[in-house]
Amino acid sequence: MSVKKLVSTLFALAVIGGMLAACAAPATQNPYDDKAPITVWIDQPRQPAIDAFLKANPADASLIKAVVVDREQFPAKVLLFNNTNQGWPDVVFAEPRLVARVADVAHNFPLDLTGFVPADTIKNYSAMDNCTFNGKVYCLRNDLAQFVTYYNAPLMKQFGYTVPTTWEDFQALSDKVAQDHPGYYLGTFGDGWTFLSFFEASNCPTHQLVDAGTLNINVADPKCARAASLVDHMIANKTLFNTDYFNTDFDKLITDNKVLMFEGPAWMWGSFGGTKGNWWETADHQLGVATPFKWAADPAPVVAAMGGAAWTVSRHTKNPKLAVALITFVTEDKTLWTGSTNFPAYKPIQSLWQQAVSSNPLFANDPFPVFQAAANEISPLDNWPRFDLISPLTQFAQDTYQKKLTVAGNLSEIPTLFTPLAEAQGYTVVNK
């Protein structure tokens, strides 16, 4: 074969090969549809946020269907949708603790936002550790619920008491109150949230995530013992009440001006109702806000959180562009957040919240510096495992009272309650 004929043959083969390759490997198509409708699960207080987005984006209004749901049913409903291979919402408003419960293999719900939200934007959100699972960002934080110390400023002044800075001083104050002003309270202990207010603040590893598959439940840790000793001491001297925060009996104590102080989440100042005399409703500079207590041996306070929600997007969505545009708007829009009682997670708009609270005559002092500092002191234990903590911890608190046990003496019940729940979610449980 001549050189000329050989070259011609090789060229023809190359052309044919290229055609065959093109047929075998078609160009990758975009799996998404920017005009696909999305369903958004919210609670009723989030409806104004959705309305604001629709008003700001009228061209997309017909594509968005908002549905008010009970988000506690979110994990169970995802499993049902997985079974039928349809029905998933595109966007869900829920706490990170619920996002964690749908991020496992069985639920496999959230979309990794890393490729859809710029890294520099994600860095502008506080407490994103709670939304990050194995390096994947599964939600954007909406608001924070860091605990602070609320106190009745006129009553503290009347009694001559100084707001403590350490848990040890707090315990000492409880003895003074018990002796000199019996019938007055420094908080309450009666359910899972009130449990966490003391034990997460002590870094007690009742539910410490070692890694994605390992959970440490170690109630023998000295950090658990010190929290239990404090609670037992204050139950004994009758300066801790025995209900949850929202019990009508506790609310009445506040209404009757019988609560001197307690640790509570950032949103709590704006969420309680009541009658005249309730120090959340008066406008006479009655509500003081102080730095959360720290343990004397610790370098800084560590605080619990009660709520603080987020927005997550489904990996099943056909329109992630619109879904992401929605969740960034409702967490970042300045007009929407002006005047809100919730502490925004998006750092660039936290100054708007500062303007609202710093001039509010309800407060005895400017609360913003306290809230801002506490936002950076949320306990790592607020990164929840893939199961509910509140119900079993509420059972623990109630069992302690009903069985007439001390908190310290009943701590061994916690591994009994948590271990089967953890193992059912695939965790290896350690006690170290």
Tens of pLDDT, residue by residue over 87-116, are: 999 999 999 999 999 998 999 999 999 989
Q: To the nearest whole number, what is the mean pLDDT of the chain? A: 90
User: In the prediction, which pLDDT does 282 show?
Assistant: 61
How many CA within 13 A on the CB side of residue 406? 12
pTM of the model: 0.84
pLDDT > 90: percent of the chain: 76
- The strands making up 310-313's β-sheet, listed across from edge to edge, are 64-68, 38-42, 91-94, 310-313, 140-141
Whether 253 and 241 have beta carbons less than 8 Å apart is answered as yes
pLDDT at 145 over 90: yes
Asked which of 145-149, 280-284, 312-316 is least confident by mean pLDDT, the reply is 280-284
Task: List the one residue out of 158, 419, 200, 190 whose CA is nearest residue 305.
Answer: 200
**pLDDT for 31-75, tens place per residue?**
899 999 999 999 999 999 999 999 999 999 999 999 999 999 999
Domain boundaries, the chain: 38-141+309-344, 147-304+371-430
Identical fold between 38-141+309-344 and 147-304+371-430: yes
The DSSP-derived string for 113-181 is GGGTS-HHHHTTBTTGGGGEETTEE--EE-EE-BEEEEEEHHHHHHHT----SBHHHHHHHHHHHHHHS
* CATH T-level assignment (fold) for domain 147-304+371-430: D-Maltodextrin-Binding Protein; domain 2 (3.40.190)
pLDDT at 386 over 90: no
Q: What is the pLDDT of residue 274?
A: 43
What span, in angstroms and rounded, lies between the C-alpha atoms of 335 and 58?
17
pLDDT, average across residues 313-321: 98
pLDDT of residue 132: 92
pLDDT of residue 369: 93
- The mean-pLDDT minimum among 278-282, 310-314, 318-322, 388-392 falls in 278-282
What's the CATH code, domain 38-141+309-344?
Answer: 3.40.190.10
pLDDT tens, 157-185?
Answer: 999 999 999 999 999 999 999 999 999 99
Q: What is the mean pLDDT of residues 386-410?
A: 95
Average pLDDT score over residue span 195-213: 95
Assess whether pLDDT exceeds 50 at residue 27. Answer: no
Q: pLDDT tier at 14 (50, 70, 90 boundaries)?
A: very low
